[in-house]
Amino acid sequence: MHAYRTHSCGEIREIHIGETVRLSGWCHRIRDHGGVLFIDLRDHYGLTQCVVDPDSPAFKMAETFRAEWVVRLDGEVRRRPVGTDNDDMATGKIEIYVRDAQVLGTAGELPLPVFGDQDYPEETRLKYRFLDLRRERIHNNIMLRGRVVDSMRERMKASGFNEFQTPILTASSPEGARDFLVPSRIHPGKFYALPQAPQQYKQLLMMAGFDRYFQIAPCFRDEDPRADRLPGEFYQLDLEMSFITQEDVFETMEPIITGIFEQFGKGWPVTKNWPRIPYAEAMRKYGSDKPDLRNPLVMQDVSEHFRDSGFKVFARMLETEKNQVWALPAPGGGSRTFCDRMNSWAQSEGQPGLGYIFWREANGQTEAAGPVAKNIGPERTEAIQKQLGLKEGDAVFFAAGDPDKFAKFAGMARTKVGEDLNLIDKERFELAWVVDFPMFEWNEDEKKVDFAHNPFSMPQGGLEALNSADPLTLKAFQYDIACNGFEIASGGIRNHRPEAMVRAFEIAGYGEETVVAEFGGMFRAFHYGAPPHGGMAAGVDRIIMLLAGEQNLREVALFPMNQRAEDILMGAPSPATPKQLRELHLRVNLPEKG
């Protein structure tokens, strides 16, 4: 017999009744029923109920067992007594009558229980992550992660992609987020950088003629943590393709991503034939470039109903050409209580308030109520009601001013109304392409034109458009994938012509010397036969978070950092020793305290 187990704790069934087996695992739960001990023994594969009664030679030892002790149990498989089957367990029709036992590893008092799914402070969970990972929900999330990554690889290879690994130590890049720098011992005073993404390398692979590349790529960005972004590092399904158009990327990747959600999405409906939503339309209708399309609410421009109206606040705003008034319908929200609650919420978000109209029954008729209705009068109120298709028991909220400044808040209000009125079907996956992102944007702080998205993307219209059009009107061949309110992928068709690349950077205030200095490898490659190419990167962590039904990426990562970007399990970051600093020719210059 094997030293530790003949079977796993998840595989014994009725066909094994009468056999003598050996199991090893953790004491998940121990119950004493009138002197008879019931031990739910757990390993990676499942649970098995083991019974030790006073007649067993192992009883005296089993009495000492505590939660999370690692033990070996030998015994006979038998049918559970009538009426005691547990259909929630794969092994729920059998039990092991224990005749021998051995303690393989004891456990001290647990800082958090493994049995159950109680909510514990994040610091405790991360410090004892090895215990947290034993808990069923987190353990299952990590196993789901492995299966999803396997499926991604299989689907990509079936679509003609080859997997390559690009360098981890690379050069610092001026675009995007802050780099993690790695000092060079061999080259004093110089630094490597950990890649924010394999962007330049994957484009160079296209220059090298590999045609279709992918990898499950680790990426590193020195950014502030948040719920939908892991601090420090994350993984993406990174890919690039040669001789393709934007449409080719869509046709290739849409079935791959759809297939992932269908395979692992609990049987929930998944979008067929994803809509393609221009960036401007997404911001206009949903107040977000990653709209949650499970929410049926669509905002509309109602500026004309307020122009020269008695509602002077909005009327005066509309005297400025760029300003608009947007309406957010709230079907079923037609009560003063709900409207006042939304107004208070808006104030808590730093807004002066949230104008509204609601329709209620009064003396057998439908009546428009609220200060906005009183100020603009019944004719304009009725026109708004008709435009939005609202009825008695409904409401509408308004956001006004410069749409570039209030769109994000309007999108938050849309989400808030959808959540509070239970309008969102939570058990489905709604996917969409968001397209036609602006190539450039105005940087108000620096009073200059900046890249709006990815500086390596091809502008629509190419070099001619770069030379002749207003930069702030240019759209790029850039696209995102939105799912349930999250951006899960981003990509673009690349600007592969060196003269167009230089011109794009010149518009953003960088000369050719900057392009050569910062992107010399790729810039040189463009001069030696560069194929048209493009690709994207999908966030592995975010996709798995959605599939697992979690709200935080740390629930689907093995050993994540905390909100302060600290690994409190391993003690990182930590000070370097004087010897290490000397070898790297570095001196620490800490900020002054206080």
CATH number, domain with residue 68 = 2.40.50.140
Q: Are residues 441 and 392 in the same domain?
A: no
Domain-embedded: residue 113: no
Predicted local distance difference test score (pLDDT) of residue 118? 87
Give the CATH number for residue 242: 3.30.930.10
Q: Is the pTM of this model over 0.75?
A: yes
The rounded distance, in Å, linking the Cα atoms of 337 and 339 is 6
The set of residues, in sequence order, having a beta carbon less than 8 Å from that of 109 and lying 6+ positions away, is none
Max distance between CA atoms of the chain, in angstroms, equals: 92
Of the candidates 181, 161, 190, 187, the one whose C-alpha atom is nearest the C-alpha of residue 256 is 161
Contact 77/118 with Cβ under 8 angstroms? no
Query: pLDDT band at 231, cuts 50/70/90?
Result: confident
Give the N- to C-terminal CA distance of the chain in Å, as an integer: 66
Q: What confidence tens digit (pLDDT) does each residue in 299-355 have?
A: 999 999 999 999 999 999 999 999 999 999 999 999 999 999 999 999 999 999 899
Edge-to-edge strand order for the sheet containing 431-435? 162-163, 212-221, 232-242, 533-539, 486-493, 478-483, 431-435, 276-278
Span 482-496, average pLDDT: 97
- Ranges of beta strands (E only) in 222-289 are 232-242, 276-278
Tell me if 99 is assigned to some domain.
yes
The count of other CB atoms within 10 Å of the CB of residue 212 is: 20
Q: For residue 568, is it within any domain? A: no
Residue 548 phi, psi dihedral angles, 5° rounding: -85, -10
Residue 395 has what pLDDT? 97
DSSP letter string, 79-103: EPPTT---TTSTTTTEEEEEEEEEE
In which residue are the tokens 């739960």 written?
29
Convert the pLDDT of each residue in 525-542 to its tens digit: 999 999 999 999 999 999
- 192 and 171 within one domain: yes
d(CA 84, CA 327): 59
> For residue 343, what is the DSSP state?
H
Q: What angle do CA 209, 210, 211 make, to 5 degrees?
A: 90
* pLDDT at 100 exceeding the cut of 70: yes
One-letter amino acid at 268 equals W
Task: Report which of residues 47 and 353 the model is more confident about.
Answer: 47
Q: How many distinct structural domains can be found in the chain?
A: 3
3-class state of residue 379 by DSSP: helix
Examine the pLDDT at 554 and tell me if it is beyond 80: yes
Residues 98 and 171 in one domain: no
Tokens of 486: 């999250």
Tell me: do 471 and 540 sit in the same domain.
yes
What is the arithmetic mean of pLDDT over 32-37?
A: 92
Contact call for residues 512 and 502 (beta carbons, < 8 A): yes
**Residue 130: pLDDT band with limits 50, 70, 90:** very high
Name the nearest CA neighbour of 20 among 101, 98, 79. 98
Per DSSP, 429 falls in state: B
Position 228 confidence tier, pLDDT thresholds 50, 70, 90: low
CATH of the domain at 409: 3.30.1360.30
For the chain, percent of residues with pLDDT exceeding 90: 87
What average pLDDT does the structure give for the chain?
Answer: 94
Element at 479 (helix H, strand E): strand 478-483
Angle at which helices 136-158 and 246-264 cross, to 10°:
140
Give the Cα separation of 57 and 112 in Å (integer).
32
Residue 345: strand, helix, or coil: helix
Run of H or E residues at 255: helix 246-264
Residue 235 has pLDDT above 70, yes or no: yes
Q: Are residues 407 and 454 in the same domain?
A: no
Is 530 domain-assigned? yes
Q: How far apart are CA 201 and CA 207, in angstroms?
A: 10
Beta strand pairing call for 212-221 and 162-163: parallel
Task: Please indicate, yes or no, if residue 580 is contained in any of the structural domains.
Answer: no
Give the integer Cα–Cα distance in Å for 26 and 31. 14
Structure confidence at residue 594 (pLDDT): 64
pLDDT recorded at residue 517: 85
- Regarding whether 345 and 322 lie in a shared domain, the answer is yes
8 Å CB contact between 567 and 559:
yes
Residue 66, domain extent: 14-105
pLDDT band, residue 175 (cuts 50/70/90): low
Of 420, 451, 470, which residue constitutes the final position of a domain?
420
Nearest Cα to Cα of residue 199 among 225, 162, 171, 224: 171
Residues 408 and 449 in one domain: no
**Which residues share a beta bridge with 29?**
40
d(CA 460, CA 33) in angstroms, rounded, equals: 74
Question: Do both 340 and 450 map to the same domain?
Answer: no
Once rounded to an integer, what is the mean pLDDT over residues 416-436? 97
Q: Mark whether 217 and 329 lie in a shared domain.
A: no
Determine the Cα–Cα distance for residues 531 and 243; give it in Å rounded to an integer: 6
Task: State which of 391, 420, 449 marks the end of a domain.
Answer: 420
Q: Is pLDDT of 19 > 90?
A: yes
**Cβ neighbours, 10 Å, residue 163:** 12
- Looking at 105-119, 289-303, 479-493, which range is the least confident one? 105-119
pLDDT of residue 176: 66
- For residues 265 and 300, membership in a common domain is answered with no
| pLDDT, tens only, 506-529 | 999 888 888 888 888 889 999 999
Residue 363 inside a domain? The answer is yes
Name which residue leads in pLDDT, 593 or 255. 255
Q: Which of 36-50, 278-292, 358-372, 565-579 has the lowest mean pLDDT?
A: 358-372
Residue 511 inside a domain? The answer is: yes
Q: Are 568 and 562 in contact (CB under 8 A)?
A: yes
- Are 150 and 225 in the same domain? yes
| pLDDT at position 404 | 92
Show the 3-state SS of 504-571.
Answer: HHHHCCCCHHHHHHHCHHHHHHHHHCCCCEEEEEEEHHHHHHHHHCCCCHHHHCCCCCCCCCCECCCC
Number of Cβ atoms within 10 Å of the Cβ of 582: 11
Residue 360 has pLDDT above 90, yes or no: yes
Query: How do 20-33 and 36-43 pair as beta strands?
Result: antiparallel
Q: 182 and 142, same structural domain?
A: yes
- Residue 143: CB atoms within 10 A of its CB come to 11
579 within some domain: no
Prior bond of 498 cis (ω within 30°): no
Q: How confident is the model at residue 172 (pLDDT cuts 50, 70, 90)?
A: confident
